[in-house]
Amino acid sequence: MFTFPNPVNEKAARLVAGVVALAGIIILATGAFWLLIPVAYGFWARVLTGPTLSPLARLAMRLMAGDPKYVAGPPKRFAQGMGAVITTTAGILALAGATTAATVLVAMLVVAATLESVFAFCLGCQVFAGLMRIGLVPESVCLECANITLARGRPAPAGHPPARP
């Protein structure tokens, strides 16, 4: 149950990001910070179990099942973790009355989710690649990403070393 898919269907991830961006826009437009609860739950569910406990991710996988585009799982899991931390922190700040700080975090979330959804630019994945370059991500994870990517006949993503024989 506590696994994350590798590889990940990028089309499903983009659909999930679109819903997250929409939820964030609703929060920003209405001040309905209570919506951070299901958004944060979704991030935590996805980072801990992939789509298993996330109704949104399960639906996205079904809707995008036709012609998947696969990408490495570890960077996407890292990005989900970033979303979990941001939404949880925003929710705690909103409960504490620090709505300006919560609003800033939700706005950051909307930007990141929109970049993923509209342009297939995963900001969390870029941070992950940077952490790989400076050695904070273990080489075994880098090789896992590269091996999955190369096994599917695609070049390794930016920041990933080529697979070793």
Contacts 24+ apart (CB under 8 A), 143-150: 144/6, 144/72, 144/74, 145/6, 145/72, 145/73, 145/74, 145/75, 146/72, 148/6, 148/7, 148/70, 148/72, 148/73, 149/7, 149/70, 149/71, 149/72
Q: Is residue 151 part of a domain?
A: no
Q: Is the pLDDT of residue 66 over 50?
A: yes
Q: Is residue 149 part of a domain?
A: no
Cα separation, 162 vs 143, in Å, equals: 7
* Residues 57, 4 contacting (CB under 8 angstroms): no
Query: Measuring CA to CA, which residue among 46, 56, 45 is closest to residue 22?
Result: 56
What does the pLDDT look like over 114-130, one tens digit per residue? 999 999 999 999 999 89
- Domain residue limits at 14: 8-121
Express as a percent the part of the chain with pLDDT over 70.
86
User: What does pLDDT average to over the chain?
Assistant: 87
Q: Is residue 64 part of a domain?
A: yes
Q: Is the pLDDT of residue 146 over 70?
A: no
Q: Is the pLDDT of residue 83 over 90?
A: yes
Q: Is the pLDDT of residue 149 over 70?
A: no
Q: Is the pLDDT of residue 162 over 90?
A: no
Global pTM reads: 0.84
What pLDDT is stored for residue 87 in this prediction?
A: 98
